[in-house]
Amino acid sequence: MPVEINRQIAPSLKRLLSLSGHAALAKPQMAETYSNSVVQGSNLFGTLLLGNSTRSDSIGVERINSEGAISSASDIRSDATSTSGNSVSDSLALSANGCAIPASGDEVIYFASPTKFYILTIP
């Protein structure tokens, strides 16, 4: 059974550290029930992967409309090669608990609030 150590950093933020060496931040969700109309809008996103040249970094803008359609424009750097002006269109299946899975199935998005989210990429 994994053992975790929880440490309060601020009133609304906790740091989790497992004995296996993995760390994470925990933030309470701000909306009680999520829907596409709650999270619609434009969001800036980006990745920062320190010391790992085999992965890619990206920055861009993602737009979600009230029907759950997603469109994004981004710039990507992968293995010292840069690509500008990438665009993606997808649709979003958003659960009332704030967990969303795009139709492409290559990531899971967790909303902490209507304007803050975390993306887990599925390899």
Q: pLDDT tens for residues 87-98?
A: 889 998 888 888
**Do 38 and 4 share a structural domain?**
no
- Count of domains forming the chain: 2
Handedness of CA 65, 71, 74, 76 (dihedral sign): positive
User: Which residues constitute the domain of residue 53?
Assistant: 31-121
**Do 98 and 58 share a structural domain?**
yes
**Do 93 and 109 share a structural domain?**
yes
Whats the size of the chain, residue-wise?
A: 123
Question: Given this model, what pLDDT does residue 106 score?
Answer: 83
**Do 35 and 72 share a structural domain?**
yes
Question: Given this model, what pLDDT does residue 57 score?
Answer: 76
Kindly report the backbone phi and psi dihedral angles of residue 12, in degrees, each rounded to the nearest multiple of 5, phi listed first.
Answer: -115, 15
Q: How confident is the model at residue 1 (pLDDT cuts 50, 70, 90)?
A: very low
How many other CB atoms are there within 10 angstroms of residue 101's CB atom? 15
